Structure 1
Amino acid sequence: MVFNYLCFGLNPVAFHLTNIALHTVACLLFTRVCLKVAALKPPFAALAGLMFSVHPIHTEAVTGIVGRADVLACVFFLLSFLAYHGQPSDGRFHIWTSVIMGAMSMMAKETGVTVFLLNLAYDLYLQWPNIKKTIAELRWNQETLEFSSRATKMMTSTGVLLALRLAILQGSLPRFCEQDNPAAFHSSIYVRFLTFCYLAAFNLWLILCPATLSHDWQMGSVPLVTSISDSRNFLTCFFFGVLFLLALRSIIDFEHLRHPPLILGFLLLILPFLPASNLFITVGFVVAERVLYIPSLGCILLVIYGIQMLWNNCPKHRQTFTCLLTVILISSCFRTLIRNKDWKSRESLLRSGLQALPHNAKMHYNYANFLRDSSRHELAKSHYYMALKLWPTYASAHNNLGTILKNNYEAEKHFLAAIKYASNHVNAHYNLGQLYRKNNKTMKSEQMLTRCINLEPSFTPAYMELARLKGPNHRSVPGLLKKVVELNPNDPYYASKFGEWLTKKGNHLEALKFYWTSLRICATHRDSAIGVFKHFRKFGQKARMFQMLTRWHNLLRKKGTNFRQDFYLQEWHLKNELSDKIKEYSSSLHVKNYSQDLDSKNSKWTLQKNKTTNEKTKMLRKKKQDNSETQDHKALDFSKFAILTYC
């Protein structure tokens, strides 16, 4: 992502093209795995790569920037596996290459760590005859010793990398709420077990039949399995029955090594899915299509291997198989194209999610947020009410609904409900504080805003609202505004606002300091520049003001920003003032020269007249000298002032 940003900025096309390029690499690597490791025939290996490339379940991972972690993890996952199994075993070089690639996969996504288990399990399958011989003869052979060495290196590396990952997480796993994964927070272990087993089967069904796809499966999208009589348990039993048969067939094949694609496909399907299965750790989602990116490798490999066996064993039906595969590929392409259109914009994505899961409270909530941002408040209200109907304790829905209600009593009721269901909801406290301020309930407003700051000390709007509530003359306002500037060191807006407040209080030196701070952050910040111009004007530094105004315009011109006409008017007015000042100085100089000429021409005047003229000339010179010294003192004083503000 850093490379994308440095080369192309925030251009979304570059991000999408990079994801597509990574997906293409993953498809090519998977094709090589099928060909070199799984030993599929070349046409079927190519078919596996093609089916993987157009599978609709991958749309979220390839289209969304968040999914890049899964695609990148898959690329390093396959590179690690190929380094371990895809080349002749000539020593430690390939083992350590596999470890490095596996570490890169794990850093991209935690599920990448399962490649070490995959490498060991598949190596165990390939070396089982030698291991069995060692056990029978009670004597180590060369192959078993090499396998033990590889296994030791892989297990040690896995332990070190897991410890490193936990250290990055500071020894604690992420925490989630009930809305993210309702089954994980259910009090009954019986319900949790049935639901998690069903979710595993449901994920496999999404890979096999991606008809219903959504970007968000939270908030009751998949209802809990609370009873053994639930019809969904049949799907669970069928799924685990198939897995049991595959496992049994794989164990039998350990003796003969006849079906490597079966073993590899089974391992690829099960092992990468384990971290997302809720069996070992609690995850923050019910179903996530992007986490199926790597497990789908195993499912596709099993399907293609089955087709290859049917192709070899039933030559009379090859035309039927060809038609069936063509239909599958075309339908997959068509479904992927439709799914890509869903990801075209925020509105299309939310609409598609709402159509797929109309009983999902979060879908209604997210779509209502979009409508609110689009100023379609009436329609937004209906979706907020629907979200609350589906999930009555949805605190964020209560809070956001309160922000668009015109009835103050109803708005207050929903803000209080949000605080009731989520006592640490910062925005609900802030919005309620704003509502109380508008209704002149000063004490209650101050309580809510103070509570908001206690809950989230870095919540800037609460400080600003509290300063507005207390009024400009309250003694706590400077501390509040200064705290806001400290919390936002890279935002010129708050430093500029503090400068304006200091200017109104007559603290010009401190105000100019914060104006300069704001301009250091953003040299084209308008309010800060105006504040500096006003200070220059106040201290008589009109030439300096004109110089800075010209430079500021040049800077705006380089950035391609549209100019404000009032700045040009101010510049024109300043030019006129400076022109008048130049004329005044010129006229004084003309009087001086004229007096000197007059003295030389009237040398024959009387002594009294000469004396009077000389006295007038001396007085004029003295007056001009005094004016010049006054201007010099002014410039010196302001120069000291400007130096202090810069420092």
Structure 2
Amino acid sequence: MAKKKSKKPTPKKRTPATDYSKWIAAAGIFVFAFLLYSNTLHHGFVLDDDLVCKKNDFVQSGISGLKDIFTHSWYYGFAHTADRYYRPMMLAGLAVETSLFGKSAGVYHTMNVLYYALGSVFLFFVIRLLFRRKNILFPLAITLLFTAHPLHTEVVANIKSRDEIFAFLGLLGVVYGMVQYNRKSNVTYFILALISYFFAILSKEGALAILGIVPLVLYFFIEISWKKILVQTGAFGIIAAIYFAIRMGIIDHHPNSFETIDNSLFAIQSASNRLATAIGMIGTYFKLLIFPHPLSFDYSYNTFPELSWTNGKVLASLAASVGLIYLTINGLRSKKPLSFAILFFAITFVITSNLFFLIGATFAERFMFVPLLGFCIAVIVLLWEYLDLEERQNYPLFYGILGVVLLGYSAKTFTQNKIWESDTTLFSTGILTAPNSARTQSFYGVMHIRKAATEKDVNKKKELLNIAVKRLQNSINIYPKFTEAYQHLASAYEAQNNVPLALEAYKKAIESNAEYFPAMTNMGILFYKNKNYDQAEFYLKKALTFAPNHALTHRVLGLLYKDKMQYDLAITHFKNALDAQYNKTHLMDLGMLYEKMGNTEMAIFYNEKIKELL
């Protein structure tokens, strides 16, 4: 008689109401991310924060500045001239925060940390969605590794780099929407993905690379035909085309060329050596992904000198890259997670890699913000497979390895955050980590000019200005065509009351860049202060040919014509200054001029306008 087969008890399905593990993990991720960057909440404004936030008129206008933000290029609210970038979404976020919470740096830093913490949580759910058959520890480990990595400090601790966080949130929205759309056949998710893509590319142009991530995700995680993959990807191509159509109507179509000071690869004449150097820099990225030390806020000319194909760094980087290509191809047909991770890294990095075209920066830690996710997935995949966790469940060793790495990364991140507290802490550290950077030397010099401006002790002031001059001369020695360094050197000489050397430095700034209007304006101001009205007028007018809406230049010309009693011209330039920058100073200039002219009615008119601003 045959034995009855005993039925195995059917395991109880976890219902959404009782499956608390994912929510506990999500809460833990949020707290971890927030605490990790909690020491940035009271940081100040640094580097380019002036351009996009502190001195950006559109952002400082709050919600009322949103129209201008979406109808002008990125830096227009600061410089009042068009530029090559269109990134309104980040500026819009800052403007809304200004209206709701005020204009302190702490507000913007707090929001940066909140967005990052929420992004980390969203990442956990997206990775869990992609690898839905994996133990929850798998997406949790990837997320924690990504969140803790020190290469993120530049983005999270710097207000200006909010664009990277927003672009990343958009990417996550695209991946989540596309996977859910194809698994649930709900068109709402597809619309969410398209909106997320538009949000991402309005945050930063580099997010256009998501167009390559869409087919990658569909191929590896969704069982659909290539025809459907191409059709769905095409919809994102339409969004990209709409973005370009909007962008072309707003940006400067003839921007200044990228400069060697920003990207040292422009200085390399040999195309072969230029490519070799770029590949060598990729090796540095690989090294920082694994061992992120030392880190620097700046990698400008000449941090990375020219390399040839016989250089050991280039050969090592090339060998590593070839190895990654082999691993990718080897697992492509079988859709191995490692292949996905490597391709994700490559697609999101290619735009900023300087391999196929040169961009406006040599190297930057922020360029790894999104690609780093591919690295984190690869690390956890390899560790998971090496420890054979699916079969042997050797979790204690996995916990141990992951714990040590997270502890080291978190400690580095927390200490690196402190460097971004102010320009002083940033530049003082940068001079040690990137001494061969002309820009770092220049920044360090400018820092001492600022200190000297507030120093009361005459001897200390003199010492600070001497240091400034020395560092700025170092900067020029590294890169003799560094226009801004000459400009700052002139400012240092002015502070030393050395007018001849200041004028000479301004002239060299203009010689290095014939369209550099700030030096022309400053020369005009210096001549004006010394009552040399003819030379002042010449340089101020010349500055306006390159920056016709520059408020300061118009104001000084107005003051000059007022002194010369050419009141009609003074009124014209004062009004131009007011149109470019509506503020108390420019209103006061007009009010005082009309009062001097005996036009009481107009003087009262502008004085009333001043009261409206108070």
Q: Where on the TM-score scale, by shorter chain, does this alignment land: which range? A: 0.7 to 0.9
RMSD after superposition: 2.7
Aligned AA (1:152): V
Task: Describe the shift of the 1:29–1:473 C-alpha distance in structure 2 as closer, same or farther (beyond 3 A).
Answer: closer
Q: Could you tell me which residue of structure 1 aligns to residue 276 of structure 2?
A: 194
Task: Describe the shift of the 1:501–1:126 C-alpha distance in structure 2 as closer, same or farther (beyond 3 A).
Answer: closer
Task: Describe the shift of the 1:287–1:473 C-alpha distance in structure 2 as closer, same or farther (beyond 3 A).
Answer: closer
Q: Could you tell me which residue of structure 1 aligns to residue 49 of structure 2?
A: none
- Is the Cα–Cα contact under 8 Å of residues 259 and 266 in structure 2 kept in the other structure? no
Q: Could you tell me which residue of structure 1 aligns to residue 155 of structure 2?
A: 61
**1:487 corresponds to 2:577:** yes
- Is the Cα–Cα contact under 8 Å of residues 56 and 339 in structure 1 kept in the other structure? yes
Provide the rounded CA distance (Å) in 2 between the counterparts of 1:482 and 1:70. 42
Please state whether the residue corresponding to 1:89 is helix, strand or coil.
helix
Q: Could you tell me which residue of structure 2 aligns to residue 19 of structure 1?
A: 112
Provide the rounded CA distance (Å) in 1 between the counterparts of 2:546 and 2:221. 57
Please state whether the residue corresponding to 1:66 is helix, strand or coil.
helix
Q: Could you tell me which residue of structure 1 aligns to residue 22 of structure 2?
A: none
- Is the Cα–Cα contact under 8 Å of residues 146 and 376 in structure 2 kept in the other structure? yes
Provide the rounded CA distance (Å) in 2 between the counterparts of 1:460 and 1:409. 26
Task: Describe the shift of the 1:277–1:369 C-alpha distance in structure 2 as closer, same or farther (beyond 3 A).
Answer: same
Offset from partner CA, 1:129-178 (integer Å, 9 cap, x none): xxxxxxxxxxxxxx53xx52343132133244234235314385965222
Provide the rounded CA distance (Å) in 2 between the counterparts of 1:84 and 1:388. 51
Structure 1 residue 204, shift from structure 2 partner = 2.8
Alignment gaps of 5+ in structure 2: 1-92, 453-463
Please state whether the residue corresponding to 1:216 is helix, strand or coil.
coil
Q: Which moved more, 1:148-157 or 1:431-440?
A: 431-440
Provide the rounded CA distance (Å) in 2 between the counterparts of 1:6 and 1:301. 39
Alignment gaps of 5+ in structure 1: 129-142, 525-647
Alignment of 1:39-118 (within 5 A): 39-85=133-179, 89-91=183-185, 93=187, 94-118=189-213
Provide the rounded CA distance (Å) in 2 between the counterparts of 1:441 and 1:31. 65
Q: Could you tell me which residue of structure 2 aligns to residue 7 of structure 1?
A: 100
Structure 1 residue 453, shift from structure 2 partner = 2.7
- Is the Cα–Cα contact under 8 Å of residues 99 and 154 in structure 1 kept in the other structure? no
- Is the Cα–Cα contact under 8 Å of residues 551 and 576 in structure 2 kept in the other structure? no
Offset from partner CA, 1:611-641 (integer Å, 9 cap, x none): xxxxxxxxxxxxxxxxxxxxxxxxxxxxxxx
Task: Describe the shift of the 1:46–1:370 C-alpha distance in structure 2 as closer, same or farther (beyond 3 A).
Answer: same
Aligned AA (1:494): H
- Is the Cα–Cα contact under 8 Å of residues 482 and 498 in structure 1 kept in the other structure? no
Q: Could you tell me which residue of structure 2 aligns to residue 370 of structure 1?
A: 447
- Is the Cα–Cα contact under 8 Å of residues 34 and 301 in structure 1 kept in the other structure? no
Structure 1 residue 307, shift from structure 2 partner = 0.7
Please state whether the residue corresponding to 1:312 is helix, strand or coil.
coil
- Is the Cα–Cα contact under 8 Å of residues 262 and 360 in structure 2 kept in the other structure? yes
Q: Which has the higher helix share?
A: 1
Provide the rounded CA distance (Å) in 2 between the counterparts of 1:100 and 1:511. 51
Task: Describe the shift of the 1:87–1:389 C-alpha distance in structure 2 as closer, same or farther (beyond 3 A).
Answer: same
Which residue of 486, 490, 494 corresponds with 1:398? 486
Structure 1 residue 318, shift from structure 2 partner = 7.0
**1:37 corresponds to 2:130:** yes
- Is the Cα–Cα contact under 8 Å of residues 122 and 172 in structure 2 kept in the other structure? yes
Q: Could you tell me which residue of structure 1 aligns to residue 58 of structure 2?
A: none
Offset from partner CA, 1:52-87 (integer Å, 9 cap, x none): 111101111112112222112212212221222257
Offset from partner CA, 1:567-597 (integer Å, 9 cap, x none): xxxxxxxxxxxxxxxxxxxxxxxxxxxxxxx
Which residue of 178, 183, 202 corresponds with 2:265? 183
Provide the rounded CA distance (Å) in 1 between the counterparts of 2:181 and 2:388. 28
Offset from partner CA, 1:312-348 (integer Å, 9 cap, x none): 1896997665443332111101100111111112211
Q: Could you tell me which residue of structure 1 aligns to residue 467 of structure 2?
A: 379
Q: Which moved more, 1:171-180 or 1:314-323?
A: 314-323
Provide the rounded CA distance (Å) in 2 between the counterparts of 1:399 and 1:78. 43
Alignment of 1:261-276 (within 5 A): 261-276=337-352
Please state whether the residue corresponding to 1:488 is helix, strand or coil.
helix
- Is the Cα–Cα contact under 8 Å of residues 449 and 466 in structure 1 kept in the other structure? yes
Structure 1 residue 35, shift from structure 2 partner = 2.9
- Is the Cα–Cα contact under 8 Å of residues 113 and 158 in structure 1 kept in the other structure? no
Provide the rounded CA distance (Å) in 2 between the counterparts of 1:109 and 1:358. 30
Structure 1 residue 303, shift from structure 2 partner = 0.4
Provide the rounded CA distance (Å) in 2 between the counterparts of 1:471 and 1:81. 61
**1:420 corresponds to 2:514:** no
Offset from partner CA, 1:469-519 (integer Å, 9 cap, x none): 4563533x4323332223324212223223223323323233333333333
Q: Which has the larger radius of gyration?
A: 1
Please state whether the residue corresponding to 2:387 is helix, strand or coil.
helix
Structure 1 residue 371, shift from structure 2 partner = 1.5
Q: Could you tell me which residue of structure 2 aligns to residue 223 of structure 1?
A: 305
Provide the rounded CA distance (Å) in 1 between the counterparts of 2:254 and 2:203. 17
Q: Could you tell me which residue of structure 2 aligns to residue 136 of structure 1?
A: none
Q: Which moved more, 1:452-461 or 1:373-382?
A: 452-461
Provide the rounded CA distance (Å) in 2 between the counterparts of 1:500 and 1:433. 22
Which residue of 244, 248, 256 corresponds with 1:165? 244
Task: Describe the shift of the 1:124–1:409 C-alpha distance in structure 2 as closer, same or farther (beyond 3 A).
Answer: same
Offset from partner CA, 1:510-553 (integer Å, 9 cap, x none): 33333333334x2x4xxxxxxxxxxxxxxxxxxxxxxxxxxxxx
- Is the Cα–Cα contact under 8 Å of residues 155 and 164 in structure 2 kept in the other structure? yes
**1:354 corresponds to 2:431:** yes
Structure 1 residue 468, shift from structure 2 partner = 4.5
Scaled by the length of structure 2, the TM-score of the pair is 0.75
Q: Could you tell me which residue of structure 1 aligns to residue 294 of structure 2?
A: 212
Task: Describe the shift of the 1:412–1:487 C-alpha distance in structure 2 as closer, same or farther (beyond 3 A).
Answer: closer
- Is the Cα–Cα contact under 8 Å of residues 183 and 191 in structure 1 kept in the other structure? no
Scaled by the length of structure 1, the TM-score of the pair is 0.71
Provide the rounded CA distance (Å) in 1 between the counterparts of 2:167 and 2:541. 45
Please state whether the residue corresponding to 2:199 is helix, strand or coil.
helix
